[in-house]
A and B are shown apart, each in its own frame.
Chain A
């Protein structure tokens, strides 16, 4: 900060107040960071507790309680059980794989379909019957306000007839549909920031439209695609409503497994915590590592 600016700051407010303001900002920031991070901390620590520790509400490992592998053993993921075969772990891995396959496939599919559509809509003018470009865009984006519950029961009946209930493909189709408007929203923003001169040059050089799209435009639009992919991944990984309705034994995803953990003798918090943590860990990693893309995705089209 230049001395000029500091001088201007000090005209209205005394120095003490400004220092207090600075401390206040940090205080609030730290307070909210605690609010955000404590539940994650609580989940991790609870997964290493035993029943008495949970009942005491112990907070700090090694100080309040001695960490134990109880929760992770119940998932078959503790050091002693990791080598041996375990039915619980197989079950967990199956759900984990379901979640992974479904969320990655549907996000990739949505990014593919959505990017193509967004590119077409940003470059050419269409007429499908009475619908022009603006109408087509609105048609895609309006899917966003469609609440899942409206589609849920018709899909339940249709999937039953089509033998798609409890299959990964069924979930993938629905999830793709769910995130497609978001992908189109982000990618439209991305493509409209790329000048058309680029394609024109490529077309003059003898590339076809699709050739220009794949060789010239896609590499430039990659950040937008990554952003929409990551955002789709977050939404589909966490989706619970459709998964709970449309899957039962084969295609269950992790959220469904987490939700169905009530035992007959109460809740075993340590295994619940271990399972929850395993379910949220991939996204925490993504959030920390790819935060830039997430923010890019969320702010697409917000600021002109």
Chain B
């Protein structure tokens, strides 16, 4: 990022001392109020004294008040400069309070035994959850499945690239095809898993099962064996998300200057050669972006699995998210589930960092 503002503004700020003091004053006053309310609530929770609070809402309101005062004080103290801060500050406060705080809280939960259904409440249990995770074959199985699901993206990419090439060809009714190809992305995964996964794949009357029988598959069952079930989930998820990659690749294809492909043709390169030597290398940056974003979405895959197979048969289709979802639904064990999610987050961060570093090197323009 370059130094200094892109937008140069000359401002004259004459901020009186009183105004500055008032600005500092409201921040500290609201912070003090927040602290008092939070301490009072904490005392009530730990049973020291009863203030008659029903929920933690008062602390929430005090926090919101503090956030508003902080934003306002920026303008009071820094004048014109503060108004610039005001562009970013609300979003930053929003994200920090909704992710950083729950994440810190989540780390505390992750090392405790906390069954929401039991009256005992939260109990710190050290590394017990880690040990349990280490010995939990289903969690490792879910992680292994995620590797398979992620690898499936390569096939999705090839199909998406093919479709983008088709759409980029000289065709009629391009708009119709583009809209039609885009529609699966708009459909709710839940509706897809019911109407496609359960209805169209239904063994007796589902049209796809009928087609499979007609094609010679004696006894089509799409969720019977582990491999087939995993494949079915992959196909369903691919069906919803291929449009996304296709649109990005199509945008990349359309950005390629026509002269380049023309020149290749004049030089006598066949379409195959022109594709591999000109189009594909030019498409690398877009492809890498599309695949990276697709991986991010793939790692969140859960809706279809939860609704369609609930992880079965035997955990073959489980994703980490659906596994933790059931872990909570069946045993309402918040502590263990949170630990699993935290470990997953660490794995994702490591994986994505390495991947982005690799992508940077790979997609860098070669001279």
Q: A residues near B, CB below 8 A?
A: 1, 5, 8-9, 11-12, 25-26, 28-29, 32-33, 35-40, 42-43, 46, 54-57, 59, 113-114, 116-117, 119-126, 128, 132-134, 136, 139-140, 143-158, 160-163, 173-174, 176-177, 180, 184, 196, 199-200, 203, 208-210, 213, 234, 237-238, 240-241, 244-245, 254-256, 258-259, 261, 267, 269, 272-273, 276, 279-280, 283-284, 286-288, 291, 294-295, 298-299, 301-304
Contacts and interface: CB of A to CB of B under 8 A. Distances in A.
B289 A145 contact: no
A255 B54 contact: no
Contact of B247 (A177, A280, A295): A295
A302 B290 contact: yes
A156 B63 CA distance: 19
Which bracket fits the contact residues of B? 35 or more
Summarize A's interface: helix, strand, loop or mixed. Answer: helix
Q: 6 closest Cβ contacts across the A-B interface?
A: A120-B87, A57-B205, A117-B91, A299-B251, A154-B106, A238-B188
Contacts of A120: 84-85, 87-88
Interface in B174-210: 175-192, 194-196, 198-200, 204-207, 210
A36 B348 contact: no
B182 A55 contact: no
25 contacts: A57-B210, A116-B87, A116-B91, A117-B87, A117-B91, A120-B85, A123-B5, A125-B6, A126-B84, A132-B1, A140-B95, A147-B299, A150-B342, A162-B60, A163-B55, A177-B95, A234-B185, A238-B190, A241-B302, A255-B191, A258-B194, A267-B198, A269-B199, A276-B194, A302-B286
Nearest to A55: B205
Interface string B203-228: 01111001000000000000000000
A9 to B, nearest CB: 7
A245 B337 CA distance: 13
Interface stretch (B21-29, B30-38, B96-104): B96-104
B252 A149 contact: no
A122 B169 CA distance: 36
Given A146-B345, A154-B109, A283-B186, A241 B199 contact: no
A145 to B, nearest CB: 5
Contact of A32 (B181, B196, B285): B181
A163 B57 contact: yes
B92 A54 contact: no
A304 B7 CA distance: 22
Interface stretch (B12-20, B133-141, B150-158, B263-271): B263-271
A287 B321 contact: no
Given A210-B83, A276-B195, A291-B178, 10 more contacts: A1-B170, A25-B166, A26-B171, A46-B199, A55-B205, A150-B341, A177-B99, A200-B8, A240-B306, A303-B255
Contacts of A36: 180-181, 183-184, 243
Nearest to A151: B102
Contact of B341 (A55, A117, A147): A147
Contacts of B244: 298
Contacts of B185: 234, 287
B248 A180 contact: no
Given A40-B183, A117-B88, A152 B341 contact: yes
Interface in B233-267: 239, 243-244, 247-248, 251-252, 255, 262, 265-266
A212 B178 CA distance: 38
A258 B190 contact: yes
B200 A42 contact: yes
B119 interface: no
Summarize B's interface: helix, strand, loop or mixed. Answer: helix
Contacts of B178: 291, 295
Contacts of A269: 199
B124 to A, nearest CB: 15
Nearest to B337: A153
A203 B299 CA distance: 46
A149 B262 contact: no
Nearest to B324: A149
Contacts of A144: 296
A152 B337 CA distance: 10
A57 B7 CA distance: 64
A302 B251 CA distance: 8
A143 B98 CA distance: 11
B166 A240 contact: no
Contact of B103 (A32, A140, A150): A150
B39 interface: no
B344 A149 contact: yes
Nearest to B335: A153
B76 interface: no
A244 B189 CA distance: 13
A270 to B, nearest CB: 10
